[in-house]
Each structure stands twice: as C-alpha cells, then as structure tokens.
Structure 1
Amino acid sequence: MTRQAYYQHYWQKEETSFEQELVIKEVLRIRKFHKKMGCRKLMVKLEAFMFDHQIKMGRDALFDLLAANQLLIRRRNRRVTTTYSSHWLRKYPNLIREFVADGINQLWVSDITYWRFKDKFLYISFVTDVFSHKIVGYHL
C-alpha cells in the first residue's frame, strides 16, 4: 500500500465517521418526538439536514448505520389472523376437485371474508354458482 493511499483512506475514514456521528445525533433528535419512525421516513426527514451539511448517504448506507448502532425499529405485524387451519377438529376432503360444471346450478361454493370496521370486524358470506360465477346468496 502506498503512503498516499494510506493517508487518503485514513482521512476518508475520519470524515465519514464524523458525518455518521452527525446523522446519528439528528436521528436521535427526530426519534425523541417520533419514537417508531422507520428508516425510509427518516431518510425523507434527513434529506434537508444532509444537504445542508453536504453529507452524501443513500438509503442502504443509512440502514447499515442504524443497524450498527441498534437504532432500527422492528416492523409491526399488521395482519389479523382469521384462519387457523392446524386445528384439531375434523377437516373434510375436497369432494369437487375433479368435478367440472357444464351448466348453471350444478355446483355452488361458498366463501367468507371480512372487513375491519372501526374497532370490530364485519363478516360476509357468499354462495356462488361455479359455472356462471353469479352470487346466489349472501349474509352479512
């Protein structure tokens, strides 16, 4: 390694560590008011700060910096579990797997779905004709 390469690496490392400290302080300042703000939203908030301080850091570098300093926020699981298929109750076989409907009203199937409404769920059940794909009946 040449002397020039050694000193260039040394000065660059010192400069990037100073920039990283500035970014971490700003992230901590933002997180004081927004404790659960994720990295992508932080990146948007930090754009003006990084422009003012002439810091060039991309999203992935910010992710790595926050991960190295244990500042990443875990994502919340927003999915609601509505189906549990590993239950101990009897599961019936699929009797219509090989059946092909060639006319209306030969085979009806049903399904249930839900909507989250304020703090509760609304469930709707449909009965559908397989051949015409028409809804034969429903219940909310």
Structure 2
Amino acid sequence: GSQFRSRKFLRALARHRMVGSMGRVGSSGDNAAMESFFALLQKNVLNRRSWTAREQLRIAIVTWIERTYHRRRRQARLGRLTPIEFETIMNTTVALAA
C-alpha cells in the first residue's frame, strides 16, 4: 500500500481531482475484501492469456464474475451461500412478507 501514499501518486490524484480510498489498517474502510477479489480476478482471468481488445477483456471479466464468482464461490459472511443463493432467499423472503 505504500505506493498509494507516495507524493507522486498523491499529486496525480490531486491533478485529476480525485480522492484516494486508503484507510487505516484494520479499520472498517480496510480494502482487504477488494484486494482478495482482484487477486482472484487476476489469477482466473487476467493472467490466463493476453488480450488484444479491451472489449474481449471486458466480456471475459463480466463472464467470470457472473458465472463463477457469483454462482460458485461460497462466502462466509453469507452463511456459506453463494451471492446468487443468498439473493434468491432474500427476494423470496421479501416477496412473502409483501
């Protein structure tokens, strides 16, 4: 994370009127979950082959997220359900309550 606190990086953020999203270690703003997601994305999509067109890469990323990450990856915070299973349960519960 130190590269994101460097003067050069902070100047680039300011030049483009952007705000960095770095929080303190262990804080609720900690980005460990996103780092884990991007590590999986890089391992499963980006490093698998070289991409000649941006659109091909975009389709590969969306496909991986929708077919693999959301449908197969069980998440502890969702009670070991996949996001799709969790959403289905929640939508059914809301529909029954209405």
**TM superposition score normalised by structure 2:** 0.35
| TM-score, length of structure 1 as denominator length | 0.26
The structure with the largest helix share of the pair is 2
Higher relative contact order (CA 8 A, sep 6+): 1
Larger radius of gyration: 1
Q: Give the structure with the higher percent strand.
A: 1
